Structure 1
Amino acid sequence: MVDYEACEYCFTTIYMFEHIYNTMYYREKDFAVLIGEYDDHKFTVIPLAQKQNLGKVFDFIRKYFKENNIKFQLRAATEEFVEFLEENYKGKFKYIEERDYFDYVYLGEDLRTLNGRKYHKKRNHINAFIKEYENRYYYKSLGKEDFNDCLALLDKWMIDKEDKTTLQTERIAIQKVLDNYEKLDVKIGGIYIDGNLEAFSIGEYLNPNMAVIHIEKANGEIRGLYPMINKTFLENEFPDVEFVNREEDLGIEGLRKAKLSYYPYRLVHKYTVLED
């Protein structure tokens, strides 16, 4: 299979949010196709296939849309896939850049060490955390016995948030991962302070060189806790990974500012593809 860098092509992401998009699957021996629904319109994504079979499988998807009188739409197309379409189907499609869904990719070493002047503020926050909670906190790789703590922290985190509908959808997604933890190839880690879980993160390998961070939650009232869980989770669970994908910002101003403050190595550009 092609090694995709976009978070949408990680099985856990697909599984976590299938209830949002009413995701349908079609699978044969050497490829898989996903069909979802967004804003009452069906869409597909890049097929999961060997590179040499991509054209054949893509034609199979287009035929499905045409035979069912559905306007063709492909979401989360990467720059590489857009180039493939232009080489093989030139002039047949138009492309809409989706900045809110660009993935933020960082150098793993940058996030694990926070070395250099650009991370000076992050180190200050972490040092303040360590000074305040020295001998009162510890990091732990989390297992089933800790998952009730994760949900309790999540519920506490949601109390003051406004968009309860979206957050409840995310909670369902997190619950699905925790319930099926042993079947998914994910790593979960958290920070306890005075015996209480105050931060946790969920991630996995997106490809052999890249980890993807699906979820990161922390008590925002504790200074330095967010950069601390970010750093220690990678140090403990992904100590050697070259790149870290921290997914998209969804157009949320505060989230975009936070992701940019870690100085991404690159952004994974994504497009919606429509057939002319």
Structure 2
Amino acid sequence: MLDLDDFKPVTLDDQEIFREQYRQYPQVHSDNTFTNIVCWNHYAHYQYATLRGSLVILSTIDGKTAFRDPIGPRDPELFDRVLELAGEVEQKRPFYILNPSTIAWLREYRPDLTLHPDRDDAEYVYLRSDLADLPGKDYLSIRRQLNRFNKHCTSTVEAITAANLEEVRTFLNRWCLWKNCDAQEILSSERDAVFYAIAHFQRLELSGLVVKVDGEIGAMAIYEQMTPDTALVHYEKGLPDCEGIYKAINVETARHLPESCTYVNRESDIGLPGLREAKTRYHPHHMIDAWYIKPEDF
């Protein structure tokens, strides 16, 4: 059965293994996407194992290891084994569940387990049409800010391509200087993650947009097709040079997505009050919940 020796570090060369597994078992939480895993590998030190048609992922952050529910066919024996391995690590939250269908299954298979919701990692999913059109009174304030941006700022929109990737890097360096990334571990790690995404933009099959103000990039977004009906926005950054520029990059991203994308996943708020308020203001259609199991619940 599964042992720790069966796990190996995730590398960019493993992309097709993950993509093929996800074609069979689509993922709805961004933390399981290969792009997030490989871009944040410097921070979370991901490893994976494959067994009996399932993919099992673990991460190690600050020396603390946590496992995730297996991705694949329902396999009670494998699930129990991963839970057993999680029980052997010293961690307050050694086991995460990022698949909503697993929660429904566990409530029948293991009703004895106590499942704890992780609000900080719950992800916001919006209707693409809402983000693109900003309809009705719920979006009145956002429309006003966008109108002010359009009135006071001369802007253009471009797709991110190989031709302007260097401009994007220059913009990100400016953004990090403004945010003082080196003084905050999470921002420093995010900087490394987004630069990795830029460095492997084509290979990861990413898409993106920039909003230029007076000829210079003032905001950017990087995204990908997550499932047939959902786009995932990985990174969205803007400089304070022109008020309302975040509203502009948000709406332009939604407008440039194909109509087949009914939904847009804009990831979690990681427990930051300001970010939670900003994401809530756009009125998500639904949330993708994350759950965890404590050692005393095993």
1:178-200 deviation digits (Å, cap 9, x = unpaired): 11112112111111122111110
Partner of 2:168: 150
User: 1:33 aligned to 2:53?
Assistant: no
Q: CA deviation at 1:150?
A: 1.8
Q: Which amino acid aligns with 1:109?
A: S
User: 1:267 aligned to 2:287?
Assistant: yes
Q: Summarize the Cα distance change of 1:165–1:63 in structure 2 as closer, same or farther, 3 Å threshold.
A: closer
Distance 2:267 2:33 in 1: 11
Distance 2:191 2:168 in 1: 11
**Correspondences of 1:19-98 after superposition (within 5 Å):** 19-28=42-51, 30-50=53-73, 53-62=74-83, 64-65=85-86, 69-70=88-89, 73-91=94-112, 93-98=113-118
User: SS of 2:171's equivalent?
Assistant: helix
Partner of 1:230: 250
Residues 220 and 226, structure 1, Cα contact 8 Å, conserved in 2: no
CA RMSD, 1 decimal: 2.1
Partner of 2:226: 206
Residues 122 and 287, structure 2, Cα contact 8 Å, conserved in 1: yes
Where does structure 1 lack aligned partners over 5 or more consecutive residues? none
Q: Summarize the Cα distance change of 1:251–1:144 in structure 2 as closer, same or farther, 3 Å threshold.
A: same
Partner of 2:18: none
Q: Which amino acid aligns with 1:94?
A: T
Count of residue pairs the alignment pairs up: 269
Residues 59 and 65, structure 2, Cα contact 8 Å, conserved in 1: yes
Partner of 1:13: 36
User: What percentage of residue pairs aligned between the two structures are identical?
Assistant: 23
Distance 2:51 2:212 in 1: 45
1:185-222 deviation digits (Å, cap 9, x = unpaired): 21111111221111100111221111111100011231
Structure 1 runs (4+) greater than 4 angstroms displaced: 63-66
TM-score, normalised by the number of residues in structure 1: 0.89
Instruction: Identify the match of residue 159 of structure 1 among 153, 156, 177.
Output: 177
Instruction: Identify the match of residue 262 of structure 2 among 225, 236, 242.
Output: 242
Instruction: Identify the match of residue 119 of structure 2 among 91, 99, 117.
Output: 99
Q: Which amino acid aligns with 1:12?
A: T
Asked which structure has the greater RCO (Cα within 8 Å, sep 6+), the reply is 1
1:231-269 deviation digits (Å, cap 9, x = unpaired): 111211344311111100011111011001101111222
Q: Which amino acid aligns with 1:4?
A: Q
Q: CA deviation at 1:81?
A: 1.9
User: SS of 1:205's equivalent?
Assistant: strand
Distance 1:271 1:39 in 2: 21
Distance 1:62 1:39 in 2: 21
User: SS of 1:256's equivalent?
Assistant: helix
Partner of 1:126: 146
Q: CA deviation at 1:87?
A: 1.0
